[in-house]
Chain A
Amino acid sequence: MTGLWTQRPKFIHLGLFVAAYVLGCAFAQILAFMPGTGISIWLPSGLFIATLLFASRSTWAWWLLAGCFAELFANTLWFRSPLPAAFLIYLGNALEALIGAWLIRRVLGDPVRLDTLQQMLIFVALGAGVAPIMAATIGAATVDGFDILSQSFWTAWPLFWIGDATGVLIVAPLALAVLQNWGDRTQLSATQWMEICILGLIFGGVAALSLNHYLSFTYIVVPPLLWAAVRFEFKGAAIALMFLVLITAAFTMSSGGEFPGVSESPKERHILLQLFLAISALSAMIVAAISRQHRLGLLTLRKSMDTLRHREWELTQLVDVVPSHLWRLTPDGEPIFFNRRMADFLGMGVADIDRPNATRLDALIEAIHPVDAPGFRTALRHSLATGEPFALRYRLRRADGVYHWMSSRADPLRGEDGRIVQWYGLCHDIDDQVHAEEALRERERGLRELLDALPINILSFAPTRKMTYASKRYIDKVGAPLVHIEDFDALARDVAHPEDFPRMFAVASHGFATGQPFVNRFRRRDKQGIYRWIEARTQPQRDASGTILQWHIVSIDIEDEMHAQQALRAAQDSLARQSQAASLAELSASIAHEVNQPLAAVIANSHACHRWLTADPPNIERANKTVDRIIRDANSAADVVSRIRALFKQSVDTRVNGAIEDIVAEAHNLIAEEAARHRVLLDVEVDRGLPAIFMDAVQIKQVLVNLIRNGMEAMAGLAEDKRLSVRVSRIDNTVQIDIRDHGTGIEAPDRIFEPFFTTKEHGMGMGLAICRSIVESHGGRLWAEKNEPKGAVLAFTLPIESKVLS
Chain B
Amino acid sequence: MSTDDQIIFIVDDDARIREALTDLLASHGLRTVAFGSARDYIAADKPDIPACLVLDVELPDINGLDLQGQIAASHHPPIVFITGHGDIPSSVRAIKRGAVDFLTKPFSDTDLMTAIGTAIAQDRENRAARAELAGLQTRYLDLTPREREVLPLVVSGLLNKQAAAELGISEVMLQVHRRNVTQKMGADSFADLVRVAERLGIQVTHSRRAGGPRK
Contacts and interface: CB of A to CB of B under 8 A. Distances in A.
To the question of whether A and B form a pair in one complex, the answer is yes
Interface string A625-648: 110010011001000000000000
A604 B82 CA distance: 12
Contacts of A605: 19-20, 23-24
A684 interface: no
A603 B26 contact: no
A602 interface: yes
Nearest to A594: B84
A589 B84 CA distance: 9
B211 to A, nearest CB: 52
Interface in B79-109: 82, 84-85, 104-109
Contacts of A592: 84-85
For chain B, which range describes its interface: under 10, 10 to 19, 20 to 34, or 35 or more residues?
20 to 34
A245 interface: no
A405 to B, nearest CB: 93
Contacts of A629: 16, 19-20, 23
A608 B20 contact: yes
Interface string B19-32: 11101101110000
A378 B97 CA distance: 116
Interface string B27-39: 1100000000000
Contact of B24 (A598, A608, A619, A632): A608
Nearest to B82: A600
Contacts of A610: 109
A626 B17 CA distance: 12
Contacts of B149: none
Contact of B84 (A593, A602, A607, A619): A593
B58 interface: yes
- Chain A CB within 10 Å — which of B21, B23, B104, B112 has the most? B23
B27 A608 contact: yes
A611 B106 contact: no
Contacts of A598: 16
A615 interface: yes
A622 interface: yes
B107 A603 contact: yes
A600 B17 contact: yes
Interface string A229-246: 000000000000000000
Interface in B182-210: none
Contact of B27 (A589, A594, A600, A607): A607
Contacts of B5: none
B14 interface: yes
A596 B84 contact: yes
A762 B21 CA distance: 25
Contacts of B82: 600
Contacts of B58: 593
Given A593-B58, A626-B23, A604 B28 contact: no
Contacts of B20: 600-605, 608, 629, 633
Given A604-B109, A622-B23, A596 B16 contact: no
Contact of B17 (A594, A597, A608): A597
Interface in A452-475: none
A612 interface: yes
Contacts of B26: 608, 622
Contacts of A603: 20, 106-109
A602 B20 CA distance: 8
Interface string A578-620: 0000000000010011101111111111011011100100010
Nearest to A593: B84
Contacts, number: 80
A612 B104 CA distance: 24
* Main SS at interface, chain A: helix
A303 B11 CA distance: 146
Contacts of A599: 105-106
Contacts of B21: 604
Nearest to A588: B85
B24 A600 contact: no
A598 B106 CA distance: 9
Contacts of B23: 604-605, 608, 622, 625-626, 629
Nearest to B27: A611
B85 A611 contact: no
A52 to B, nearest CB: 152
Given A592-B84, A603-B108, A597 B16 contact: yes
B176 to A, nearest CB: 64
Contacts of A608: 20, 23-24, 26-27
Contacts of A600: 17, 20, 82, 84, 105-107
A619 B23 CA distance: 12
A593 B28 CA distance: 27
A597 B105 contact: yes
A351 B26 CA distance: 149
Contacts of B17: 597, 600-601, 604
Contacts of A633: 16, 20
Contacts of B109: 603-604, 607, 610
Contacts of A589: 85
A629 B23 CA distance: 11
A607 to B, nearest CB: 4
B16 A611 contact: no
Which of A589, A601, A619 has the most chain B CB atoms inside 10 A of its CB? A601
Highest count of chain B CB atoms <10 Å: which of A597, A625, A626: A597
Nearest to A589: B85
Contacts of B16: 597-598, 601, 629, 632-633, 636
Contacts of B85: 589, 592-593, 596
A370 to B, nearest CB: 98
A76 B14 CA distance: 180
Nearest to A607: B109
B28 A602 contact: no
Nearest to A598: B16
Interface in A152-177: none
Contacts of B104: 596
A636 B17 CA distance: 13
A597 B112 CA distance: 16
Nearest to B84: A593
Contact of A607 (B14, B24, B105): B24
B27 A601 contact: no
A396 to B, nearest CB: 100
B59 to A, nearest CB: 13
Interface in A513-547: none
Contacts of B105: 596-597, 599-600
A622 B23 CA distance: 8
A239 B20 CA distance: 177
Contacts of A622: 23, 26-27
A310 to B, nearest CB: 122
B84 A615 contact: no
Nearest to A599: B106
Interface string A545-557: 0000000000000
A601 B24 CA distance: 10
B30 to A, nearest CB: 11
Nearest to A625: B23
Nearest to B87: A589
A187 to B, nearest CB: 142
B119 to A, nearest CB: 17
Nearest to A633: B16
B100 to A, nearest CB: 18
Nearest to B16: A601
Contacts of B24: 604-605, 607-608, 611
B1 to A, nearest CB: 14
6 contacts: A589-B85, A596-B84, A600-B105, A607-B27, A622-B23, A622-B27
Given A597-B17, A622-B26, 7 more contacts: A596-B84, A597-B16, A601-B16, A603-B108, A604-B20, A604-B109, A611-B24
Closest 7 CB pairs of A and B: A600-B105, A611-B27, A607-B109, A593-B84, A604-B20, A608-B24, A600-B106
Interface of B: 14, 16-17, 19-21, 23-24, 26-28, 58, 82, 84-85, 104-109, 112
